[in-house]
Chains A and B, each alone.
Chain A
Amino acid sequence: MSSCPEELLYTPEHEWFRAADGTVGITAHAQRALGDVVYVELPAVGTELTAGQSFGTVESVKSVSDLFAPVSGRVTAVNGALGEHPELINQDPYGEGWIIRVAPAGPATGLLVAAEYRRQIGEGQD
């Protein structure tokens, strides 16, 4: 059973967003569904993102998925370690496998809290 940390917000497309520092990643559920991640395509620092729009891709041995921005804003950092070690997304999706940091242009809207996201992916309480 995948975990969904309570302090994060979630998109219906399986990204997580930490409002405290603007960090974005994909959920444990998403990395498990994808399987072994082999490539991650990331935007450059400074790119302006629009909430709900694709900002990159995560590719696994068996499939490829778009990454969707949880909020609008400017990319302030990308996780460069993913270039050499994309498997960090599988190993530690909420930690070392983070993807980008965003300076939000405004408050996050339309995101799910952990309990709502768990319901969406068909999981009960952890």
Chain B
Amino acid sequence: MQRTPLYARHTALGAHMVPFAGWEMPVQYRGIVAEHRAVRTAAGLFDVCHMGEITLRGPRAGAALDLLCVNDPRTLTPGRAMYSPLCLEDGGTQDDVIVYCLRAQEEYLLVVNAANRAADLAWIRETLGARGLGDVQITDASEQTGLVALQGPAAMRVLAVLLAEPERPAVVGLRPFRFTRAAVAGVPCLVARTGYTGEDGVELACSAEGVVELWDATLAAGTPLGLEPCGLGARDTLRLEAGLPLYGHELSAEVSPLEAGLGRFVRLDGRTCVGSQALARQAAGGPPRHLVGLEPEPPGIARAGALVRDADGRQVGLVTSGTFSPSLGRPVAMALCARGAAAPGEVLGVEVRGRAVPARVVSLPFYRRRRDSGVVLS
């Protein structure tokens, strides 16, 4: 079991540690609901050092990325980031990643799911080798990289406190999916306006040595503003409310990004990438399944793997993720259902411990943040 550089911080904070993708990670500190609410109303700090960082370098790195990503990376310029699924030839999903353009056409950073890091590396090597792009330099930078997420409506205020004056305006003024380099609490970081919670915020990448100082300084600066350390439990309830997919649940080798409702990240126009033929066919004929939101009647939570049935008792889908939504105060779930079987407003049944529970189909996401609470920064 691997430990992040912040392991001792988590145990000192009284975190409940659990195994996750080969890592010993904090699932909660004070409690999932309290941490969830902190992120929705103030700010939360997450250790995401377990995630993988892979760099592609060389004169043909841009061409390599164009082959690997189903989202279109050709317009990426330094300082811009992009979410993209990576697909297999049959349209199933190898992983979903964020790509950061460090040097146009020549250097890119991919932040990948912890559980897929080794498989992604092997898949990228094999794919590029087979397509004559073996000269692209592929590096696993995960061990040397620290990563934390600072999320919530107060996240940018907390960040502003940690920035030196000359850099502050450019960093707090970053637009979504833009990034820059800056010293945060004196630690050199790549600061990206990205996240996985449905709130405003940033993700901060730095050296594995620097991340402890970054964590301590961020907690100290944020605590007066309501910031709390948050574990994987709150990360899951937050992303689920925001309708964001989690690899291994909404996405897998058996699920295409079109089925998972990620069509806007599948940009095939005039491009040939791995999986583009299968995805183009699926887009033309309509994907066989689609991801929907469900609101099962309380009490009881429909969790991943629960069967979804129509009014006649026929199985029409499977729950991919389910939890109690702290923001809505009720159970919510996402489910992959057969095309045409789950229209918004329709009432289906989900199995909760052998019992059929009525569940209304709703559109995703369950939670959308208000964008009118702009924080004024000096």
What is A's interface to B at a CB cutoff of 8 Å? 32-33, 35-36, 38-41, 57, 59, 61-62, 64, 90
Contact: A36 with B33, CB < 8 Å?
A: yes
Output the nearest chain B residue to A39 by Cβ-Cβ distance.
Answer: B299
Q: Which 9 A-B pairs have the closest CB atoms?
A: A39-B299, A38-B324, A36-B33, A61-B32, A61-B324, A36-B31, A36-B32, A35-B32, A62-B233
The verdict on A57 contacting B32 (CB below 8 Å), with A39-B298, A39-B301, A41-B299 known, is no
Q: CB distance B31 to A64 under 8 Å?
A: no
Q: How far in angstroms is the closest Cβ of chain A from B142?
A: 26
Q: Is the CB of B299 within 8 A of A59?
A: yes
Interface residues on B, range: 10 to 19
A104 to B331, CA, bound (A): 35
Instruction: For residue A81, give the distance in angstroms from its CB to the closest CB of chain B.
Output: 15
Q: List, in ascending order, chain B residues with CB within 8 A of A38's CB.
A: 301, 324
For B324, what are the chain A residues with a Cβ–Cβ distance below 8 Å? 36, 38-39, 59, 61
Most-contacted residue by chain B among A32, A36, A90 (CB, 10 A): A36
Q: Is B3 an interface residue (CB 8 A)?
A: no
Q: Which residues of A contact B236 (CB under 8 A)?
A: 62
Question: Measured between alpha carbons, how far is A93 from B351 in the docked complex, in Å?
Answer: 30
Which residues from chain B contact A61 at a C-beta distance below 8 Å?
A: 32-33, 233, 237, 323-324, 326
**In the complex, what distance in Å separates the CA atom of A84 from the CA atom of B32?**
19
Q: Count A-B pairs with CB separation below 8 Å.
A: 44
What chain A residues lie within 8 Å of B32 (beta carbons)?
Answer: 35-36, 61-62
Asked if B189 CB lies within 8 Å of chain A CBs, one says: no
A59: B residues at CB distance < 8 A: 299-301, 324
The answer to whether B276 has its CB under 8 Å from any CB of chain A is: no
Q: How far is the CB of A95 from chain B (nearest CB, A)?
A: 18
Which of B27, B28, B237, B300 is A39 in contact with, Cβ under 8 Å? B300
Q: What residues of chain A lie closer than 8 Å to B33, measured between beta carbons?
A: 36, 61
- The docked-state distance in angstroms from the alpha carbon of A57 to that of B323 is 16
Q: What residues make up the interface of B, taking CB atoms closer than 8 Å to A?
A: 16, 27-28, 31-34, 233, 236-237, 298-301, 303, 323-324, 326, 353
Find the A residue at minimum CB distance from B34. A36
Contacts A35-B28, A36-B31 given: A64-B16 contact, CB under 8 Å? no
Q: Which residues of B contact A40 (CB under 8 A)?
A: 299
What chain A residues lie within 8 Å of B326 (beta carbons)? 61
Bound Cα distance A85, B33 (Å): 14
Which of B27, B33, B34, B233 neighbours the largest number of chain A CB atoms within 10 Å of its CB? B33
CA distance in complex: A36, B236 (Å) = 14
Please tell me if the beta carbons of A64 and B233 are within 8 angstroms of each other in the complex: no
Q: A39-B298, A64-B301 are in contact. Are A57 and B31 (CB under 8 A)?
A: no
B303 and chain A: residue at smallest CB distance? A64
Q: Tell me the smallest distance from the CB of A38 to a CB of chain B, in Å.
A: 4
Closest partner residue, chain A, to B36 (CB atom):
A61
Most buried by B among A41, A59, A90: A59
B17 to chain A, nearest CB (A): 12
Nearest-neighbour CB distance to chain B for A90, whole angstroms, equals 7
Complex alpha-carbon distance, A100 and B114, angstroms:
43
- A64 CA / B33 CA spacing, docked (Å): 16
The verdict on A35 contacting B300 (CB below 8 Å), with A61-B237, A62-B233 known, is no
A90 partner, pick from B16, B31, B323, beta carbons under 8 A: B31
Chain A: CB-nearest residue to B352 = A64
Q: Tell me if B31 and A62 are in contact (CB < 8 A).
A: no
Chain A residues positioned under 8 Å from B300 (CB to CB): 39, 41, 59
Shortest Cβ distance from B271 into chain A, in angstroms? 40
